[in-house]
């Protein structure tokens, strides 16, 4: 039996690259880059707010596929195309992590994105 459990979510992939969306080993779950794709259409929404919501919806789907919940996430790394989107990011963050005393840490940086994407996230979770 493999030590790593590859986590798959319908509608999410790294294209033709041989990289899983996420991997769980023991109680740890780590993702690769999570893009703002709408899993139903396979397309990136045009609106930045919708993209940010889609990225978090994809993160939620991944952690749940790995046997956890958003409450199990320890750290989130966010890359934004434009730091002016930080207010929209913070609004979505508060939807998923409303308790000031029970949130993961987050690092946000500016980065070039492929195509029309304005966000990419990665996270680490500890699932008991």
Max CA distance (Å), the chain: 46
Alpha-carbon gap, residue 103 to 96, rounded angstroms: 9
| DSSP letter (8 states) at residue 58 | H
The answer to whether 45 and 51 have CB atoms below 8 angstroms apart is yes
The DSSP annotation for 91-106 comes to: HHHHHH---TTS--EE
Domain boundaries, the chain: 5-126
- Which CATH superfamily hosts domain 5-126? RutC-like (3.30.1330.40)
Note down pLDDT in tens along the chain; length 128 residues. 579 999 999 999 998 999 999 999 999 999 999 999 999 999 999 999 999 999 999 999 999 999 999 999 999 999 999 999 999 999 999 999 999 999 999 999 999 998 999 999 999 999 99
Give the torsion through C-alpha atoms of 115, 16, 78, 31, to 10 deg: 170
């Amino acid at each position: 039996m493999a030590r790593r459990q590859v986590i798959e979510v319908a509608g999410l992939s790294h294209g033709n690259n041989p990289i899983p969306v996420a991997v769980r080993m023991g109680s740890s779950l780590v993702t690769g880059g999570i893009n703002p794709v709408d899993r139903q259409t396979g397309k990136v929404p045009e609106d930045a707010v919708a993209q940010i919501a889609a990225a978090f919806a994809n993160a939620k789907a991944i952690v749940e596929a790995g046997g956890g919940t958003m409450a199990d996430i320890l750290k989130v790394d966010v890359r934004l195309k434009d730091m002016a989107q930080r207010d929209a990011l913070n609004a979505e963050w508060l939807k998923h992590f409303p308790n000031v005393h029970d949130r993961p840490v987050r690092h946000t940086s500016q980065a070039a994105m492929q195509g029309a994407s304005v966000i990419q996230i990665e996270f680490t979770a500890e699932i008991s």
